[in-house]
Amino acid sequence: MRVLTGLISCIAAMSASVSFAQGVLGLERFDAHKVVRVELPDRASYERMREISDDMWSHRGGPGAKEFRVSPAQLETLRASGIEFEILVDNVQALIDAERASLLAPRGVGADFFADYRRYDEISDFVDGLVLANPALCSRESVGFSLENREIFALRIAGPNGPAQRPAIVLNSLQHAREWVSGSTSLYIANELVEGYGVDARITEALDSVAVYIIPVVNPDGYVHTWDVNRLWRKNRRNNGGGTFGVDLNRNWSVGWGLNSGSSASGSNDTYRGPSPFSEPESQALSSYIASIPNARAHVDLHSYSELILSPWSYTVDASPDAASFDNLNAALRDAIAGVHGRFYLAGPGGSTLYLASGTAPDWTYGEHGIFSWTIELRPATAQQGGFILPPDQIVPTGEETLSAALVLAEFAARDVTFYDEVAPDALDAAGGSAVAVRAYASPGVTIDQNASSLRWRSGSAGPFQSLALEFGSANLLRAVLPAASCTQPIEFYYEVALDTGSGVVIATYPALGADEPLSRGVFDIGYSFDDTFASDLGWTVGAPGDTATTGLWVRGVPNPTNYQPGSGNPDGSGAECFYTGFSAPGAGDGVADIDGGTTTLTSPVIDALAAGDDPYLVYARWFGTTGAPNDYLRVFLSNDAGATWTLVENVNFDARRWERREVRVADLLAPTSQMRVRLVAADGGSASLAEAAVDDVQFLARSCDSIPGDLNGDGVVNFADLNTVLSNFGASGAPGSTPGDATGDGTVNFSDLNVVLSNFGSTR
Ligand code: 0X9
Ligand code: ZN
């Protein structure tokens, strides 16, 4: 394969220089054009900027910060407009010239295909070479033809060992002609998958369970145009009449099509949506092709640049029905990419994270077919690193990190259900009432049968599991409240969900091995010295000397959901209220009132932490969403002298955008006293970042276990309930320690058990 690849690139390199030289004559120039970074705090200034230049290059860099290309004349208009700007690229033509020079430089024989950008014909030849060398793994399929009659082709890659009808993922690139690295990336992924099959265990397993469809060049005419005529061409090559050309293919899809808020009706505009949905052969062909793929579960439309992971919706700021599932997958994709070269892509729904775009491919794939779909904007982060003219030595690292994201999606597609955010108290209450929870979402095409799903639990580590109903809440939450149980042994449990896959019902468990490897928690008699669900005011104070934040101060109530702030208090606890920073109106977008300007402090009343026992634990749930890690932070402190001195409990200086429960033994940090206070300091450490914190369910509790013989249900009293358990199980036998009614723990329920219950009848602890 390597040899063949080398050969192809060698031939291709020769033909590239020839046809390239021909094209040079007609190249459009961008002398003295600049790329500027502008601050556009509101919709009106955004619209004004788009009137000055419709060539938006990037949209990352905090709320309101965008990058635009401006001609010398447009720069003058910009200066006069009063919009604040900063010049990032002084001469766009210089970038293009440097790229041309490197493309014209002779490539050695056997040069790596991914050492530089490739023309349409070279990409097509490369795909042929891959198929020729690996016929058992991949095949070339025709998607359709462009306006100028170039073929749009796909590569289907699947291992020979899996089922024929398997879930699929779809990757496409180069809807936008000038975003060259997107094409290199999809092809890099194709090549790695093919070469890694049978070599790399993860790739082999992925390809044996899912099929991967890759469409490298969705817009061949536009792409050829960027090589021969105009390096910055974005759209297809439709003649719109009146001397204007091109429809933005990523505004031509039918879901959300036609909105002026996210596309243009004017043929001269770079986001021209075309006269009707799917008016263009390229978007029409790709959409029909995607619709024909059986069991597609994930799709990525690759673009550049800005380093972003954008989930639906793009055409509206409203949350999608699967917002919670997308949040989880967005984080998984972001972490997968960051894990390779440390690039932290910003992730969130496109419309609310960035700007509205109507008629995009991912909105259609998700909206029309329920396939989970993304726009991924690849390297670089800003125009200062080249923008669309990304240096070719960035192709391989970009490919490597994007491959890692593609594998996450392949593994997602291979599953029928995804479990995440499992949470349970370290100590369960013997009196009952402890809530345990996990989040779970079904993959596209699969539904969870709620009635056939349950929490399976048992007291002790042997014997049968019993079923407990699961409550299905918002944001994929599955929750159960445990009953009373003896504190002499742990509770073991696992989640069991029934899935309708369309071709039968399958059972999935969390943890994966279910009864063979259940979760386990100790059971205690729990006494509370302090238990605040924030349903009412128990005397917390907001503000402390030295606080500097000007917005986003702590407030008690029910938060409004944004990408960075939860929509409710800790779901494992009780009540929707909590303490949170800032106040954002729903739909107003992120960062409307996040923490700005420094720190804001929240302090508890004085608490007698010894009231329920002399070895107290501090328990709380916290949330911290940030784009400014590690400068932004949420710090938790504890004092045992009513606030005179403070000890750090934890410093959350990373993006922890989920409720997380913390249980800390006070004596491990400082001596427990009757004069304790808890303090939370949330800080915005940098200028343009988003930072939002929340806290809920703050408790001081003490654990003990004074079991009484005969108290079979662990409710603290030996009574008729326990007697009944013995009598109704009389004669039963089973595993020692977990047979109901077996008070002696010898494995059978007999007269000695009856004797234990009767002789302790009425005892309490
Ligand atoms: O505008 C686009 O089509 C994409 N950006 S690009 O710079 N590559 O042109 C982004 C579309 C994703 N959705 C939203 N921005 N809402
Ligand atoms: Zn694009």
Complete DSSP assignment for 718-749: -SHHHHHHHHHTTT-B-STT-STT-SS-SSB-
Structure tokens at 205: 């397993």
Mean pLDDT of 86-96: 96
Mutate which of 250, 300, 365 for ligand 1 pocket (most atoms within 8 A of beta carbon)? 250
Question: Rounded mean pLDDT of 68-90?
Answer: 95
Least confident residue range of 400-414, 441-455, 550-564: 550-564
CA distance 650 to 637: 7
> Does ligand 1 come within 6 angstroms of the Cβ of 420?
no
Q: For ligand 1, is residue 226 a contact (CB within 6 Å)? A: no
Residue 88 above 50 pLDDT? Answer: yes
Mutate to test the pocket of ligand 1, among 69, 314, 379 (most ligand atoms within 8 A of CB): 314
Least confident of 15-24, 444-453, 459-468: 15-24
What integer is the mean pLDDT of 135-154? 98
Spatial CA neighbour of 302 closest among 158, 143, 187, 146: 187
Beta-carbon contacts of 731 under 8 Å, excluding residues fewer than 6 positions away, are 748, 749, 750
Q: Is 387 in the pocket of ligand 1 (CB under 6 A)?
A: no
- Distance set, CA 1 to CA 5, 115, 127, 231, 280 (Å): 6, 17, 12, 32, 36
Task: Indicate whether 19 pLDDT > 60.
Answer: no
Residue 234 CA: which ligand 1 atom is closest?
9
- Ligand whose nearest atom lies closest to the CA of 54: 1
* Largest CA-CA distance found in the chain, in angstroms, rounded: 104
- pLDDT category at 450 given cuts 50, 70, 90 is very high
d(CA 596, CA 687): 8
Find the ligand nearest to 387 CA: 1
Please give the pLDDT value at position 549. Answer: 87
The answer to whether the CB of 628 is under 6 A from ligand 1 is no
Q: What is the DSSP string of 423-473?
A: E--SEEETTS--EEEEEEEEPTT-EEEEEEEEEEEEESSSS--EEEEPEE-
- Ligand 1 centroid vs 586 CA: distance in angstroms? 23
Number of H helices, E strands in the chain: 15, 34
What is the arithmetic mean of pLDDT over 132-157? 98
Q: Among 179, 280, 377, 411, which one carries the catalytic annotation?
A: 377
What number is the average pLDDT over the span 542-560? 89
Does 354 sit in the ligand 1 pocket, CB within 6 Å? yes
Determine if ligand 1 sits within 6 Å of the CB of residue 314: yes
**d(C-alpha 692, C-alpha 624), whole Å:** 6
Atom 1, ligand 1: residue with shortest CA distance: 357
Residue 618 identity: L
Instruction: Tell me what the mean pLDDT of segment 488-513 comes to.
Output: 95
CB 289, CB 143: distance < 8 Å: yes
Q: Which atom of ligand 1 is nearest to the CA of 315?
A: 16
Distance 444 CA to ligand 1 centre (A): 24
Residue 667 has pLDDT above 90, yes or no: yes
Q: Angle CA(417)–CA(656)–CA(373) in degrees, nearest 5?
A: 40
**pLDDT tens readout for residues 335-373:** 999 999 999 898 999 988 778 999 999 999 999 999 999
**Predicted pLDDT at 584:** 47
Atom of ligand 1 nearest to the CA of 353: 16
Task: Yes or no: say if 724 and 753 are a contact pair by the CB < 8 Å rule.
Answer: no
Separation of alpha carbons 116 and 96, rounded Å: 14
Answer yes or no: 377 catalytic.
yes
Residue 675: is its pLDDT beyond 90? yes
CA 248-304-365 angle, to 5 degrees, is 60
Q: Which DSSP letter does residue 620 get?
A: E
Mean pLDDT of 515-539: 96
Backbone angles phi, psi at 241, to 5 degrees: 80, 165
Backbone angles phi, psi at 222, to 5 degrees: -65, -40
Average pLDDT over every residue of 520-547? 95
Angle between helices 323-341 and 395-414 (to 10 degrees): 140
Average pLDDT, whole number, for the chain?
Answer: 91
Ligand 1 centre to CA of 448 (Å) is 33
Q: pLDDT per residue over 699-749, tens digit each?
A: 999 999 877 788 887 777 899 999 999 999 999 987 665 678 888 777 789
* 3-state SS assignment for residue 543: coil
Cβ–ligand 1 contact at 375 (below 6 Å): yes
Place 63 in a pLDDT band, splitting at 50, 70 and 90.
low
Cα 264 to ligand 1 centre (Å): 13
Ligand 1 proximity of 404 Cβ (cutoff 6 Å)? no
Q: What percent of the chain has pLDDT over 70?
A: 93
351 lines ligand 1 (CB under 6 A): yes
Of 115, 94, 119, residue with least CA distance to 106:
115
pLDDT band at 16 (very low <50, low <70, confident <90, very high): very low
Q: Tell me which residue of 695, 692, 694, 677 sits closest to 539, measured CA to CA.
A: 677
CB distance 230 to 331 below 8 Å = no
CB 349 within 8 A of CB 414: no
Q: Is 232 in the pocket of ligand 1 (CB under 6 A)?
A: no
Q: Does ligand 1 come within 6 angstroms of the Cβ of 52?
A: no
Please compute the mean of the pLDDT values over residues 666-686 and round it to a whole number. Answer: 94
List, for residues 620-631, the tens digit of each pLDDT value: 999 998 877 888
Beta bridge partners of 300: 171, 374
Which pLDDT band, with edges at 50, 70 and 90, does 583 fall under?
A: low
- To test ligand 1's pocket by mutation, which of 55, 176, 180, 355 has the most ligand atoms within 8 angstroms of CB? 176
**Ligand 1 binding pocket mutation candidate from 251, 252, 330, 375 (most atoms within 8 A of CB):** 375
- The CA distance from 403 to 382, in Å, is 22
For the segment 413-419, the average pLDDT, to the nearest whole number, is 98
CB 37 within 8 A of CB 64: no
Percent of the chain with pLDDT over 90: 74
- 225: closest CA among 268, 184, 177? 177
Q: Across residues 228-254, what is the average pLDDT?
A: 98
Q: Which whole number is the average pLDDT over 475-503?
A: 94
pLDDT, position 736 = 61
Average of per-residue pLDDT across 25-43: 87
Instruction: Give the model's confidence band at 61: pLDDT under 50 very low, under 70 low, under 90 confident, else very high.
Output: low
In the prediction, which pLDDT does 559 show? 85
pLDDT at 687 over 70: no
Q: Judge whether residue 591 has pLDDT over 70.
A: no
Ligand 1, atom nearest to 350 Cα: 16
Dump pLDDT digits (tens) for 640-649: 999 999 999 9
Is residue 513 classed exposed, middle or buried when 0-12, 13-18 and 19+ CB atoms within 10 A define those classes?
A: exposed
The reported pLDDT for the residue numbered 17 is: 42
Reported as a pLDDT band with limits 50, 70 and 90, residue 573 is: confident
Residue 512's pLDDT is 97
**Residue 14 pLDDT class (50, 70, 90 cuts):** very low
| Model pTM score | 0.87
- Categorise residue 741: left if φ over 0, alpha if ψ from -120 to 50, beta otherwise: left
Distances (CA, A) of 362 to 260, 298, 369, 510, 753: 18, 10, 10, 30, 65
How many angstroms does the Cα of residue 125 sit away from the middle of ligand 1? Answer: 29
How far is the centre of ligand 2, averaged over its atoms, from the C-alpha of 179 (Å)? 6
Q: How far, in Å, from the CA of 358 to the mean position of ligand 2? A: 13
pLDDT at residue 5, as a whole number: 45
- Ligand 1 center from residue 357 Cα (angstroms): 6
Residue 10, pLDDT score? 42
Residue nearest to atom 14 of ligand 1 (CA): 350
> Confidence band (pLDDT; 50, 70, 90) for 558?
confident
Higher pLDDT, 417 or 503: 417
Kindly tell me if the per-residue pLDDT of 688 is higher than 80: no
Amino acid 593: pLDDT: 56
